Amino acid sequence: MLTIFKKIFTWWNRDTLGTRLKTIFFGKFVGEDSFGNKYYESKKGKRWVIYADEIDASKIPVEWFSWMHFTPNKIEKNHSLKKYDWQKSHKPNLTGTKDAYFPNKNKDGIEKKYKSWKE
C-alpha cells in the first residue's frame, strides 16, 4: 500500500503516475543505456528519460545527454554507440558522497603535506 502512495505522490522515486501514463500513451521507446535508464520521444519531438533507480540527472551518459538536448550524434541514426577501450566508463556526480573528490587528500583520507612552488 505504501509503494502505491510513493508511486503516485513522489517524483524522486523513479516516475510518477502522470509520467507513466504519458509514456504509455504518447511515448515511443528510443533506447536504453548501460545503467538501465530508458529514453522516450513523443510524436511532437519531446524527449524524456525514465531512470532505472534513484533520479539523478548526472546518471545520464554523455551520448544520451546530447540526444536529450537535441545535439546531433550517432544515437540519432542507430540508437547505439560503440565504446572504445581507451574511453572511461561514465560516473555519476559523486559530490556529497564518501567517494567525492578532495584535492588535498589522498585515497586514505589523509591530507597531503606539500609545499607550493611559489614562496
Mean pLDDT calculated for residue range 75-85: 64
Q: Which pLDDT score, from 0 to 100, does residue 78 have?
A: 57
Mean pLDDT calculated for residue range 102-107: 64
Mean pLDDT calculated for residue range 21-42: 90
**Span of 15-24, 35-44, 108-117 with lowest mean pLDDT:** 108-117
Residue 118 has pLDDT above 60, yes or no: yes
Average per-residue pLDDT for the chain: 77
Q: Which pLDDT score, from 0 to 100, does residue 76 have?
A: 56
Name the pTM for this structure: 0.64
Whether the CA torsion 91, 95, 97, 99 is positive or negative: it is positive
Mean pLDDT calculated for residue range 99-103: 75
Cβ atoms of 42 and 26 within 8 Å: the answer is: yes
Q: Which pLDDT score, from 0 to 100, does residue 70 have?
A: 87
Interval 7-27: pLDDT, tens: 666 666 667 777 888 889 999
- Concatenating the DSSP letter of every residue in 27-91 gives -EEEEE-TT--EEEE-TTS-EEEE-SSS--GGGS-HHHHHHHTT---THHHHS--PPPTTSPPP-
To the nearest whole percent, how much of the chain has pLDDT over 70? 66
Other C-beta atoms closer than 10 Å to the C-beta of 49 total: 21
